[in-house]
Structure 1
Amino acid sequence: MAASTGLRRLLLRSSTLRRFSSAAILNPADPADPAAPLTGKQKSRAAISLIKSEKEPERIVEICNAAALTPECHLDRIAFSLAISKLAAAKSFVAVRSFLDDLLSSRPDLQNERFRAHAIVLFGQAGMIDDAVRVFKSCGETTVKTLNALLFACVLAKKHDEVGRIFREFPKTYGIAPNLETYNTVIKSFCESGTSRSVYSILDEMGRKGIKPNMTSYSTLLAGFYQEEKFEDVGKVLEIMKKNDCPPGLSTYNVRIQSLCKLKRPAEAKALLEGMVQRGMKPNAATYHHLIHGFCKDGDLEEAKRLFAEMSRKGCVPDSSCYFTLIYYLCQAGDFETALSVCKESMEKNWVPCFSTMKALVDGLAKNSKLDEAREIVEKLKERFSKNSEMWKEVEESLA
């Protein structure tokens, strides 16, 4: 109650101090009672909206404190991450340290293993590994959860040498037995740092300790070898998977297809799709999105359109990513008529591409003398997003 009331006061005050449009962001649960407390989701969404629009570090921290964020709530975790990203981007590392240390010491509800682990990750997100290590060491009882958080913090900060050091030293020093998540984080680090072959020794160690790699372990390693274009090793990993009774599933195929598309080898990726279908495996929307994106980037829009059409015929419903990717690249290629058709279908499903893509579509239609279609799109967007109608004022004037 006190936290939501405090946030309400902050939001109302912010509307006069800064251009937050707080009244639009924050509507009370009962309009007849402006003093009514916010629901948890209202509070979280209001905080996220304000953090996005705020530039001053002190105000970002003030918003977070007023919202009484907690890692128990998914929206609050988003707010935490957004706040730390903005503070780090502004190089306000003192503010990051002060904010997180204050939460760790002054909020009784956050003095637990879960938030300590979360704080360690947030320090990593800010690139402040010394502080992440400090929080780990200050824990009354170090656990595998906080160790895993520290390793992941190093991965986020791209401090891959630190991952190796901590993995070698800390389990012995603090009497912690690494678990599957520990090993998967180390595998991720090796693969992201371009040293995927080092993972073979990790797999050997896991075998000695009776820890069986899972699909995440293998998928991460496959992506690493593809990134380094070590195709022989891809084959070796697939053999290891068979040997360990872990046959490639849909997620494995999706990783391989996405990796080949990133390497601008969409034809090979498509061959994998055909192979998985022959084996009786059904692709999902992510499979097709990787391929559509791959062929679009390779300049083969005809194949991308064919795959998009194939999805529905084969009972695989396109998701928003499929629509947005295809619309974007169709606009880039100047095929505004097809882009308009795909966009209308997307909007019927309540999926609207970002402003820049929609503006490119409207501008393209106008240049191709399709003013009525362009105006229709703008009207639909203004109706759908009435709060942002001002964004389309200049575009509308150009269509007059």
Structure 2
Amino acid sequence: MSSIARSRLRSLYLSHRHFSAPSIPTPENPNSILARKQNSRAALALLKSESDPNRIIDIARAASLTPASHLDRTALSITVSKLSKTQSSASPTALRSFLDEFKSRPDLQSERSISYAIILYGRAGMLDQAIHTFQHLDELGVPQRTAESLNALLYACLLNGDHDQLIRIFHELPKVYNIAPDIKTYNRVIQSFCKSGKSTSAYAILDEMGQGGIKPNKTTYNILLSGLSSEGKHEDVEKVLEMMEKNDCCSGTSPHDAKIRSLCRAKKMHEAKALFDGIVSSGVKPDPVTYYHLIIGFCKEGDLEEAKRLFDEMGEKGCEPGSGSYFTLIYYLCQGGQFDTALRLGKECMEKDWWPCFSTMKLLVDGLVKLLVDGLVKDSKMKEAREIVGKLKERFPKTAQMWKDVEDGWPQKGRQFSLFG
């Protein structure tokens, strides 16, 4: 990063209206790894809070972001995402100008760097430009294309949900540019089939992989299992599980998770639970993701007691519940009128720094207010609810008005129990 760029970034940092932090530290060697990380963190902090398109671009330019750094890749993604979402009529031109400038930087003339530019075009919804960049790599100092840039282009198609274009590119461009697809190439294609509801079309890709001497990995099978499960193709799930076992790609409960998930989607909860019990009794350590599928399945079936039992069992088995299990159970407990248990889980969530969405917490708070009005809970519960709302307002100040609107909609009788004092 040049001294001019560092000076510009420092100036932006100090002048930013949302920050009052000290200036960016400048080590003795400005090109050191420490210096790069400090500048990247400063740019990232600015980008997260900035909304003005011109300032966003100024910050990204001043930081001289590069795909070689994880922090910089995160900052670039935020830059593109924010510029894509802004309502400014000038933003599409500004975004394209920034990305065109980025891919043309003299310090980024490598296939790896420009491949990331292709992904950024995809993230920005500029798939045509991503394709154009791939086709003109030689003009950007990359005479020979490999699977790396091809995979970036396929990923750009996935980001845009353009599955027809992805399949066309997969069939045509490797021949045109003499590119040998790798395992990631095939996984991208299988992922496209699964996302477009055509999971069984992936079998032809598996055959092609075999003919090319490329062995499917766990990622390949897990993508396919997820797609087949989502489409309710239970027999195909069994078929792929057998393939995994044959190719020694099975470990833990993850392959069986796909079958359990498939049974849950088909509302065959007792079969799913029986399969899970059999897996656990064989000595395999339970998987929190598998528990999640079972919990949400029983919740949807209305069997909250079994869902709660499974949730408690997770802790007993040394399997820590994830935020998804908490949020799901809290929501359905509120739907089922079990506000006392939902309140306990909600407090546990926030102790872990997990925050259920506004609609779920609204269900909980409204439910407690109604029970208090009806004389079914004690004032102590409302004290706990007040504490939760206070934490929510402190953590998410933008929702304060939303909570006030909720309160205004409560029955007059409940106003004496206001959570807002």
Range class of TM-score, shorter chain: 0.7 to 0.9
Counterpart of 1:296 in structure 2 is 299
Q: Does 1:313 align with 2:310?
A: no
**Structure 1 residues 56-76: Cα deviation after superposition (integer angstroms, max 9, x where no partner):** 433432333244333333343
Cα distance in 2 for residues equivalent to 1:274 and 1:183: 34
Which residue, 162, 165, 168 being the options, matches 2:168? 165
Relative to structure 1, is the Cα distance of residues 190 and 111 closer, same or farther in structure 2, using a 3 angstrom cutoff?
same
Counterpart of 2:217 in structure 1 is 214
**Percent identity over paired residues:** 53
Counterpart of 1:190 in structure 2 is 193
Q: Is the 8 A contact 1:215 1:252 kept in 2?
A: no
Q: Is the 8 A contact 2:174 2:180 kept in 1?
A: yes
**Structure 1 residues 117-142: Cα deviation after superposition (integer angstroms, max 9, x where no partner):** 11111212233222111111222121
Q: TM-score, normalised by structure 1?
A: 0.83
Which residue, 10, 22, 46 being the options, matches 2:19? 22
Q: Is the 8 A contact 1:87 1:96 kept in 2?
A: yes
Q: Per the alignment, in what secondary structure is the counterpart of residue 368 of structure 1?
A: helix
Mapping for residues 242-321 of structure 1, pairs under 5 Å: 242-247=245-250, 249-321=252-324
Cα deviation for residue 144 of structure 1 reads: 0.9
Relative to structure 1, is the Cα distance of residues 232 and 257 closer, same or farther in structure 2, using a 3 angstrom cutoff?
closer
Cα distance in 2 for residues equivalent to 1:398 and 1:250: 44
Mapping for residues 70-85 of structure 1, pairs under 5 Å: 70-85=66-81
How many residues are matched?
380
Q: Is the 8 A contact 1:14 1:22 kept in 2?
A: yes
Cα distance in 2 for residues equivalent to 1:40 and 1:138: 32
Q: Is the 8 A contact 1:362 1:377 kept in 2?
A: no
Cα deviation for residue 4 of structure 1 reads: 5.5
Cα distance in 2 for residues equivalent to 1:116 and 1:204: 31
Counterpart of 1:348 in structure 2 is 351
Q: Is the 8 A contact 2:295 2:310 kept in 1?
A: yes
Cα deviation for residue 44 of structure 1 reads: 4.4
Mean Cα deviation higher: 117-126 or 72-81: 72-81
Mean Cα deviation higher: 235-244 or 213-222: 235-244
**Structure 1 residues 253-274: Cα deviation after superposition (integer angstroms, max 9, x where no partner):** 2333344444555444333322
**Structure 1 residues 332-391: Cα deviation after superposition (integer angstroms, max 9, x where no partner):** 4442211121122233334343455445434443443333122232445567x4xx5575
Which residue, 302, 319, 323 being the options, matches 2:326? 323
Cα distance in 2 for residues equivalent to 1:41 and 1:62: 14
Q: Is the 8 A contact 1:366 1:399 kept in 2?
A: no
Cα distance in 1 for residues equivalent to 2:364 and 2:186: 46
Relative to structure 1, is the Cα distance of residues 9 and 290 closer, same or farther in structure 2, using a 3 angstrom cutoff?
farther
Query: Which runs of 5 or more structure 1 residues have no equivalent in the other structure?
Result: 16-20, 31-36
Relative to structure 1, is the Cα distance of residues 9 and 300 closer, same or farther in structure 2, using a 3 angstrom cutoff?
farther
Cα distance in 2 for residues equivalent to 1:271 and 1:60: 54
Cα deviation for residue 205 of structure 1 reads: 1.4
Cα deviation for residue 242 of structure 1 reads: 3.1
Q: TM-score, normalised by structure 2?
A: 0.79
Q: Which amino acid aligns with 2:224?
A: L
Cα deviation for residue 8 of structure 1 reads: 4.4
Relative to structure 1, is the Cα distance of residues 351 and 226 closer, same or farther in structure 2, using a 3 angstrom cutoff?
closer
Cα deviation for residue 166 of structure 1 reads: 1.4
Counterpart of 1:132 in structure 2 is 130
Q: Is the 8 A contact 1:241 1:248 kept in 2?
A: no
Q: Is the 8 A contact 2:241 2:256 kept in 1?
A: no
Q: Is the 8 A contact 2:118 2:153 kept in 1?
A: yes
**Structure 1 residues 285-319: Cα deviation after superposition (integer angstroms, max 9, x where no partner):** 22222322333344332222111100011111223
Relative to structure 1, is the Cα distance of residues 302 and 61 closer, same or farther in structure 2, using a 3 angstrom cutoff?
farther
Q: Per the alignment, in what secondary structure is the counterpart of residue 320 of structure 2?
A: coil
Q: Does 1:372 align with 2:383?
A: yes
Q: Which amino acid aligns with 2:287?
A: N
Instruction: Output the aligned Cα RMSD.
Output: 3.0
**Structure 1 residues 75-113: Cα deviation after superposition (integer angstroms, max 9, x where no partner):** 43333223323333458443332111111113x443332
